[in-house]
Amino acid sequence: MQKRNRTAWWLGAMVAGSLMLGGCAHRPNNAQLGTGVGAVAGGFLGDAVFGSTLGTVGGAAAGALIGNQMGKNSDQGQRRSGHRHRHR
């Protein structure tokens, strides 16, 4: 049971760190958002499937890579179609 609490603590720390770093960006693009969301989702999924710290960290890393790539693809699509919002 104590190992499960430690994993939950590390996962919470990763989520908090992601949110703090994400707050540093003025207007994060989709790649940045995808990285953060993918890391959190991957961490949860890795913990659920493997039940270990390694599974949590590996899931977070894989989720971050996948989320980043999906966000990059979305950013490129917005640039091509001209739907990027601009400040005056």
Residue 87 within any structural domain of the chain: no
Residue 33 within any structural domain of the chain: yes
Residue 19 within any structural domain of the chain: yes
Residue 86 within any structural domain of the chain: no
Please tell me the total count of domains within the chain. Answer: 1
Residue 26 within any structural domain of the chain: yes
Classify each residue of 58-83 as buried b or exposed e, where b means 16 or more C-beta atoms within 10 Å of its C-beta. bbbebbbebbbebbbeebeeeeeeee
Q: In terms of residue numbers, what domain contains 57?
A: 2-81
> How high is the pLDDT of residue 75?
84
Residue 67 within any structural domain of the chain: yes
The model's pLDDT over 4-32, given as tens digits with 9 standing for 90+, comes to: 677 777 777 777 777 666 666 567 788 88
pLDDT exceeds 80 at position 1: no
Q: The whole model's pTM is what?
A: 0.63
Residue 34 within any structural domain of the chain: yes
The model's pLDDT over 41-64, given as tens digits with 9 standing for 90+, comes to: 998 899 899 988 899 899 999 999
